[in-house]
Structure 1
């Protein structure tokens, strides 16, 4: 996986007012922690960070006061309405270090013909991987699956060096028979007829 380099600035102002000022400058307040060190409060360039976070578990190479640090996002807070970044928590990592992360589950192929519904029990799969070799996603084939079929964590093919961080029997995907919906309006018609009879 590629590294994204970002220039970080340490900050000493905290609180909502300070955060608003930072965001007005198109920057994002963040905190970096890990490896037993004291948390470092920083600001990051908003647009560059937004682009970087489009990649799940992106590896960030941060220049903090002339010192280079590697980190991965652990918590991202966005504005519920406008979607802009409000705050980001970053976890320090080292090359060769194993970290536990959740990677998106993608599917390929088509279910068997019929009225079937694919349920994503787990949208992301917890795995353990080297910090510099975290997969962006895992892919599961659903080709030809029918109602009653399920994919367990142990069935998911993982890249070399990546291991499960969840019970291997955990259900990731399952195929259900589509529920037949009652035609809309029937109950209303019955209710109206009953009211007319009572009247």
Structure 2
């Protein structure tokens, strides 16, 4: 689990105009909330935040005017066309505290020979983990699986201290037999033309 340090400033201006001014200064408006505290409105350095968010569930160590806080990203809004960060919601966490997050599911290995498709029913697996030890991803072996096979949440080996936050019988990955369309027989086409 990676921890990224960012220096944050507090903000008192709100609304579209203020948000645009903040983004023009290569900063991102953000809000920090959690533990029953009042939300704190922040500005974060745009480029550093963008790099930090490349890691799923990154732990962010915030320096807010000399005060240090730990947070994880809860919601990230991006511009739908250009992809730049518009706003980030951060959840305040403490060391040793358990949080519920979704971690990416990766697959490895080759399916059994045949015409099969691999379907990710869940692209991310909801788990509960200590805030400072959130796994970056889980890897599932699909080696040798055939059509009709599925991998349930309870079949996935989780790191120590991590538990499922989803029904144990939830399907995470399933293998489907590919459906191929049968070509129309030539005799049928000729019969239809003569009729």
The alignment's TM-score, normalised by the length of structure 1, stands at 0.92
Deviation at 1:181, TM superposition (A): 3.3
Q: 2:142 and 2:110 mapped to 1: Cα distance?
A: 6
Count of residue pairs the alignment pairs up: 189
Task: Give the unaligned 5+ runs of structure 2.
Answer: none
Alignment of 1:176-187 (within 5 A): 176-181=176-181
2:6 maps to 1:42? no
Residue 73 of structure 1 aligns with which residue?
73
Deviation at 1:172, TM superposition (A): 0.1
SS of match in other structure, 1:13: coil
Q: 1:122 and 1:183 mapped to 2: Cα distance?
A: 34
Deviation at 1:179, TM superposition (A): 1.1
Q: Which runs of 4+ in 1 moved over 2 A?
A: 181-184
Deviation at 1:183, TM superposition (A): 5.6
The alignment's TM-score, normalised by the length of structure 2, stands at 0.93
SS of match in other structure, 2:101: strand
Residue 158 of structure 1 aligns with which residue?
158
CA shift digits 1:9-64 (9 cap, x unpaired): 00000001111111111110000000110000000000000000000000000001
Residue 55 of structure 1 aligns with which residue?
55
Task: Give the unaligned 5+ runs of structure 1.
Answer: none
RMSD: 1.6
Q: 1:181 and 1:54 mapped to 2: Cα distance?
A: 41
